[in-house]
């Protein structure tokens, strides 16, 4: 299964008020293992960044001035996520902004949900941990994911942290390491390599008649002691 862990940073909180995306960060997972494929892009939003938003992600107008517009990277972004399941924390927020950007390109009905399935890790966390804090920082603490590098929000770093949290929440996985300078991700040392089972023939050992008879006697005893409520048929 191909999944894309995705996060965005924006100029403000409401796309309906004209706020725009200024950063997209994506990490690819194949069958619950991180690959070396990432999508990361800063964007010129063609408007000012709200002061409150800048305090959260530390991205200002001067830094973004020479970055590409969303229209310039839209095709590359859609190609990267096409057909994957998007793993997003508070998906409604990011999807609203992404759909707003897509609709600015001329299709008033554009919807990223037509290209991808969406899994909201905030909803998942609320089901698993009702009544508890389920912010990304809270989940990092709960699942022992190191988030000390998260002095400010950043789409690529937050996607990397979310990938670790998601894998821990849904069954565990080797932790991921982030080389911030190179933008590369990989499993840490000590993770067992996948076993190649090609060509392996398993021997099937059937129960003997004596073993089957002992099994039937055990079930009969269980049925007798349970008043006929044995769950296993003979």
Q: Which residues are catalytic?
A: 153
Identify the DSSP state of 47: S
Residue 174 near residue 163, CB atoms below 8 Å: no
Classified as helix, coil or strand, 2 is strand
Measured CA to CA, the distance from residue 101 to residue 70 in angstroms comes to 7
Q: CB-based burial of residue 95 (10 Å sphere; 0-12 exposed, 13-18 middle, 19+ buried)?
A: buried
d(CA 141, CA 150): 13
C-alpha distances in angstroms, 170 versus 32, 114, 164, 197, 218? Answer: 10, 25, 10, 25, 37
Give Cβ neighbours of residue 72 (< 8 Å, ≥ 6 apart): none
Q: Is 226 exposed, middle or buried (0-12, 13-18, 19+ CB in 10 A)?
A: exposed
- 6 DSSP 8-state letter: E
């Amino acid at each position: 299964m191909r999944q894309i862990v995705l996060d965005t940073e924006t100029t403000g909180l409401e796309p309906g008020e004209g706020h725009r995306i200024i950063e997209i960060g994506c990490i690819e997972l194949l069958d619950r293992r991180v690959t070396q494929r990432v999508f990361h892009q800063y964007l010129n939003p063609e408007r000012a960044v709200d002061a409150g938003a800048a305090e959260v992600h530390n991205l200002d107008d001067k830094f973004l001035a020479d970055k590409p517009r969303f229209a310039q990277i839209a095709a590359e972004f859609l190609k990267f996520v096409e057909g994957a399941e998007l793993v997003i924390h508070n998906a409604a927020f990011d999807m609203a902004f992404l759909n707003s950007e897509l609709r600015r390109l001329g299709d008033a009905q554009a919807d990223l949900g037509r290209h991808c399935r969406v899994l909201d890790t905030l909803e998942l966390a609320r089901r698993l941990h009702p009544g508890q804090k389920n912010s990304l920082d809270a989940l990092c603490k709960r699942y022992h994911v190191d988030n000390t590098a998260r002095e400010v929000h950043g789409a690529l770093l937050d996607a990397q942290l979310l990938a670790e949290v998601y894998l821990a929440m849904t069954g565990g996985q080797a932790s991921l390491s982030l080389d911030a300078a190179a933008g590369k991700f990989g499993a840490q040392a000590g993770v067992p390599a996948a076993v190649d089972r090609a060509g392996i023939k398993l021997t099937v050992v059937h129960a003997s008649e004596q073993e089957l008879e002992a099994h039937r006697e055990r079930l009969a005893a269980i049925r007798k002691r349970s008043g006929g409520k044995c769950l296993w048929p003979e």
